[in-house]
Structure 1
């Protein structure tokens, strides 16, 4: 089931795409450049996104390295439009995933594990600590996000299996 979900939800981080592309742009143009990009990933529809992307490519052609980052990853940006705006807002960044990975790195740094089970136990304990820490956290508009996700058959099946 995890493999199927992974194929359906390819969570390419917009924040990282912006960061990777902006390094090709002079700092004096950062604000205007990012405003142009926001029209692409913040478009209300896929057609709007494509039109904004064409305009973005023309407007910023003087920085081919920056534009190329988006051209190479545009199929991932397009995938976001398979979902409603509430879902896209949640999928906009991978900060939560990065936070978990960072936390795992902290507890496993400079530690020798006698066997694989010792590592798995430590990661399990850290996961339960993180769960307790984040238990009160809420996703904005979760009801809308859940409804939009439930329109996808594969995701809907996962949501039914994990309902609380």
Structure 2
């Protein structure tokens, strides 16, 4: 039964066009974001309280999000494909 479930999930994955599959599978952005957060916590090993840690992480998130200016290659096509596959929800 377990193998059948994995097979169905894999078939579902391959029903999408390559651009959407790449978007689903890509973790590079997440890894980069986590690396930037780790830099903040690694450089300062002790925070006086939880609020200080939250503020530092918040500022790191703001800084990281300001660098997300580039668009995904072929985004317009991917966006139109997503609107077809998820009509009414996207």
Using structure 1 for the length normalisation, give the TM-score. 0.42
In structure 2, the residue matched to 1:95 is 28
Shift in Å at residue 114 of structure 1?
Answer: 2.5
Matched length: 85
Is 1:85 equivalent to 2:15 in the alignment? no
Is 1:134 equivalent to 2:68 in the alignment? yes
Shift in Å at residue 116 of structure 1?
Answer: 2.4
In structure 2, the residue matched to 1:115 is 49
Cα pair distance change 1:91/1:117, threshold 3 Å: same
Shift in Å at residue 139 of structure 1?
Answer: 0.3
Instruction: Indicate conservation of the 8 Å contact 1:81/1:88, yes or no.
Output: yes
Instruction: Indicate conservation of the 8 Å contact 1:113/1:119, yes or no.
Output: yes
Cα pair distance change 1:111/1:140, threshold 3 Å: same
In structure 2, the residue matched to 1:35 is none
What is the distance in 2 between the residues matched to 1:123 and 1:142?
29
In structure 2, the residue matched to 1:22 is none
Structure 2 residues without counterparts, runs of 5 or longer: 1-5
Structure 1 residues without counterparts, runs of 5 or longer: 1-72, 157-164
Cα pair distance change 1:132/1:119, threshold 3 Å: same
